[in-house]
Every structure is written in C-alpha cells, then in structure tokens.
Amino acid sequence: MNNPPPLLLEITPCTLCGSDEGDPCASGTDFEYDTTADTFTFVRCRQCGHQYLNPRPATSELDRIYPDNYYSFTQTPHSLVARFQRIWESRKVGFYRKFIGEGERQILDVGCGNGRLLQLLQEAGHPEWNAVGLEFDEAAIQQCREMGFEAHAERIEDFSEKEIQKKRFDAVIMLQLIEHVDDPSLICERVYALLKDEGVFIIETPDLEGLDYRLFAGRWWGHYHFPRHWNLFSQERLAHMLEIHGFEILAHESLISTSAWIISFHNFFKDRGWPALFWRFFSYQNPLLLALAILVDTLRIQTGRKTSNQRIIARKQSKTA
C-alpha cells in the first residue's frame, strides 16, 4: 500500500483569544483512518490555555480526512450496539425536551450525519417538532432527504444568510462537532444569529478533565482524533466562550465517554507496533469494551468526578442597546 500524499496544512492562531503563541502538548498521526502519514500537533495557548491543532488541514482537505467510512456517515453494524445507542440517544432527546419545550419547534441539527438524531428528535421528542439537518457530506445529506427531512449539504459557517434573517430556530444541537470546526467563536456568533430569542444551544464535546485524558495525554488519547479534532475544551473554557457570546448557561455536566477509552487503547497498541489482530479488538463497536467503559464513567459521574465528555445547554439572551 502506497503512503498517501501529505495534506495541505494551515497555520492558525488561538481561535479563542487570537494569540499566536502556543506550546506543543500532544502529537500523533491519523491512528484511526490512516488518511495521511502526516504527524499533527496540538498546542496549548500561552495566553488563555486553550488547546488547538496547529497547523491543521485546510478546509479543502475535508473530503479526504473524512472518508466515506467515517463513523457518523455510516450505520452502526453491530445490532446490540445499535440497540443500546438508540435507547441512550432517545433518553437524551427526552432530556433536551425540558429545555426546548413543548409544541411547535424548529430544531437544527448541525453535523447531522446520516440523520440518526433527526429521526430520534421526530420519534422521541414532541410530535410538533420539525428537525432540520446540516452536514457537509453530500451522500449523508441524501440519506437524510430520503428519510423525509429537510437537510442542507453545507457547513454552518456558510449557511444561508436568509436563514439568519428569519431567526428561524428554537434550538440548535451540535453533538461532537464544535471540536471539529476551525473557529468555535464564529460558530457561537452564527448560532446566536440563527436562534430565536430565548432559543437554546445544546453542545456535546470532549472534556480535557477526564481520567483517560490524564492517562493517554500527549499522543494516544482518543479525543485527539488526529487530524479531525481542531479545538479541545475544558468545562471552564467552553462555558466562558458561550457566555461572552451572549448565552446564559442552563446546565453543564459530564457524560459517559465510551469511545475515548476504547480508541485510546486502540491508538496506544497500534502506535507501539502490536499485531493488528490485537489493536483492532479495541473498536468502539465492541460490546464488551463498551460495557466496561460505561461502567467506569458511570462510577466516576456518580462519585462527582469528571469524564472526557461534557454536555452544556445554553440559552440565547437578548442583546440590549
């Protein structure tokens, strides 16, 4: 197999404070999909402490670093895992309902993938909810449309100005996505503009304060996800970013983080040269490993400790003159 050519990379300042001074804190390759042989580096901003990938792939390389078999574009193959995932995500939607509200609501799922959450919002939310999808992958968007959803093949940064003028949405949901974007602050501004007054912004994203982060920091942590994760947040930095962009924090909590544990071990053993049969065992589809990871993180949450996954729900506050 030939090595793929290097990616086109861009140097970037810290997207939260604008400083261009950062110290390397992690480096690694695309352990999961082997889309490139490049080595990538996360840096920690000297001014605000934010961690971000620098340099990072140019946006023209998105189709390459998100291959057709990328997990959010495909169905979960293992039936037991798929069943558990559906139950778990249906409960999430029930939790969101407390903040989104009853009755007619317009909800935008940013990074909707193949439409799994759109379907759950329809089935486990309120009957009058209308879910709209946004995803840059054309094939995934086509799947959403075939299920009957309004869906747009573009990034939120490029979403129609007409939608902003309408302030159409009661809620914007962004699950495991804000860590993938080049400018999270711009995303907050964009979401603020898309939301109605008092609309809610729901984010799930990795957290830099879990046990697995401390064990695998520097190279193998699953949520580095080289080269697709571009920004990583502590709970404090994420809340601060939302607050300075006009949002009020309604809820902020740790969630189980099964993939971080499993992929961290996968990366460790693969990078250390163990046989492929061994490191492929550490798959996020492995029911046994999922159960163990759920147990560990559930115990941590119940004892007041943080995990490597966080959920924050924020409400748009009206700007006063």
Task: Encode pLDDT of 159-199 as tens digits.
Answer: 866 666 667 899 999 999 999 999 999 999 999 999 999 99
Residue 15: phi, psi to the nearest 5? Answer: -80, -10
Residues 249, 246: Cα–Cα separation, whole Å: 10
For residue 65, give the nearest of 225, 178, 250 by alpha carbon: 225
Task: Encode pLDDT of 263-299 as tens digits.
Answer: 999 999 999 999 999 999 999 888 899 999 999 999 9
How would you classify the pairing of strands 231-232 and 247-254? Answer: unpaired
Report the pLDDT value the prediction gives residue 281, as an integer from 0 to 100: 94
Task: Encode pLDDT of 13-35 as tens digits.
Answer: 999 999 999 999 999 999 999 99
What DSSP letter does each residue of 52-84 carry, written as one string?
EESSEE-GGGHHHHS-TT-GGGS---SHHHHHH
Residues 7, 139: Cα–Cα separation, whole Å: 23
Ranges of H-type helices in the chain: 62-65, 79-100, 116-124, 138-146, 161-166, 184-194, 211-216, 235-244, 258-271, 276-279, 287-302
Q: Which two tokens stand for residue 186?
A: 């711009």
What top-level class would CATH report for the domain 9-316?
Answer: alpha beta
Domain regions of the chain by residue span = 9-316
Beta bridge partners of 44: 23, 51
Q: Is the pLDDT of residue 101 over 80?
A: yes
